Amino acid sequence: MLRIQHLVKQYKTGDQALKSVSLEVPKGQVLALIGPSGAGKSTLIRCVNRLVEPTSGSIELAELNLVNLRSGELRKARRRMGMIFQEYALVERLSVMENVLSGRLGYVGFFRSFFRKYPQADIDEAFRLLERVGLDHMADKRADELSGGQRQRVGICRALMQTPDLLLVDEPTASLDPKTSRQIMRLICELCEERQLAAIINIHDVLLAQMFAKRIVGLQLGEIVYDGPPDGMSAEVLTQIYGEEDWEATIQNVDDDAEGSETNIEDVQQAV
């Protein structure tokens, strides 16, 4: 579904954020991208929807090469890629409903969006999604009145409003407490399963990654150093990705955690 080949990104400052990264994500697969700060995780997913312009390489979304698209075609392609952000990136002064509907901006014309005259089908879908994440009673609240977890749910709804084939998720839990983090990760994974979406989830919490993703890719200094199942994360692999450290407490038996109940929090606390 998504095929990245020899992707290179060099910033103007000369830093090479990505050094010939190749990655293939099949339909419906949830992939966790882990790695230390500055490894290029954010750059990688921003290259996919071209919020960051790649220097060279190719990125194909269902046979369509995204790298050379002109602005009109790029807008059309972006509709198929929903993005979820670390600090939620909601438009703070707009209402929850407006934020969710903004996921349709690629589909509706300027005047419809300006006067908030969205098609009834979009509004129905927005309410359906808000109901799915348990926020339908919040539709008319302003985004900045919501708690962190609630805001991230709105962010998820906005991304899904695009009816995407692919979700690009940038550190969805970095600003959330452990319990909310798990709920958000579980929600993202469930929704991907329901809609058969592929997802790339940037995450620096190794435990969460192991718990929820079917496949883990480790990025280090712009290169992929691990690509495999969650239970293949040994101390050596973690050392290779992050550097020397005592990894015993981080390596978990994934099967125990995958059930995803509240008791997990205690596991984490013990582990940490």
Partner 1 sequence: MMTSLHGSKREWQRRATGKQLMIWAGWLIGVAIFVYCWRLISDKTIWMFVEDAPRQAADLAERMVPPKWSYMEQLWQPVWDTLNIATLGTAMAIIIAVPIAFCAARNTTPSRVFVRPIALFIIVSSRSINSLIWALMLVTIIGPGVLAGVIAIGLRSVGFCAKLLYEAIEEIDPAQVEAITATGASGAQKLTYGIVPQILPAFAGISVFRWDINIRESTVLGLVGAGGIGLQLDASISTLAWTQVSLILLVILATVILSEWVSARIRHAII
Q: Does 151 bind partner 1 (CB under 8 A)?
A: no
Q: Which residue has the tokens 């009834």?
A: 120
C-alpha angle 82/63/163, rounded to 5°?
Answer: 25
Q: Minimum CB separation from partner 1 for residue 163, in Å?
A: 11
Residue in 28, 36, 57, 106 binding partner 1, rule: CB under 8 A = 106
Compute the distance between CA of residue 210 and CA of residue 208 in angstroms, rounded to an integer: 5
Cβ neighbours around 37 below 10 Å, total: 7
Q: Does 172 bind partner 1 (CB under 8 A)?
A: no
Q: What CA dihedral angle connects 20, 240, 215 and 11, to 10 degrees? A: -30
Q: Considering only 62-70, 87-95, 244-252, 259-267, which stretch makes contact with partner 1 by CB under 8 A? A: 87-95
Q: Does 43 bind partner 1 (CB under 8 A)?
A: no
Q: Does 12 bind partner 1 (CB under 8 A)?
A: no
Question: 15 or 87, CB closer to partner 1?
Answer: 87
Compute the distance between CA of residue 238 and CA of residue 241 in angstroms, rounded to an integer: 5
Contact residues for 11 (Cβ-Cβ < 8 A; gap 6+): 17
Q: Minimum CB separation from partner 1 for residue 113, in Å?
A: 5
Burial 169-185 (b: 16+ CB within 10 A, else e): bbbbbebbebebbbbbb
Q: Does 8 bind partner 1 (CB under 8 A)?
A: no
Residues of this chain, 209-268, that bind partner 1 according to CB under 8 A: none
Compute the distance between CA of residue 203 and CA of residue 59 in angstroms, rounded to an integer: 21
Residues β-bridged to residue 3 = 24, 60
Compute the distance between CA of residue 237 and CA of residue 94 in angstroms, rounded to an integer: 44
Q: Does 90 bind partner 1 (CB under 8 A)?
A: yes
Q: Does 41 bind partner 1 (CB under 8 A)?
A: no
**What DSSP string runs through 243-255?**
-S---TTT---HH
Q: Considering only 1-9, 24-32, 70-78, 248-256, which stretch makes contact with partner 1 by CB under 8 A? A: 70-78
Residue in 78, 151, 153, 182 binding partner 1, rule: CB under 8 A = 78
Q: Does 145 bind partner 1 (CB under 8 A)?
A: no
Question: 35 or 103, CB closer to partner 1?
Answer: 103
Residue in 20, 55, 58, 113 binding partner 1, rule: CB under 8 A = 113
Q: Does 91 bind partner 1 (CB under 8 A)?
A: yes
Q: Applying CB under 8 A, which residues contact partner 1?
A: 49, 51, 75-79, 81-83, 85, 87, 89-94, 98, 102-107, 110, 113-114, 155, 158, 162, 168
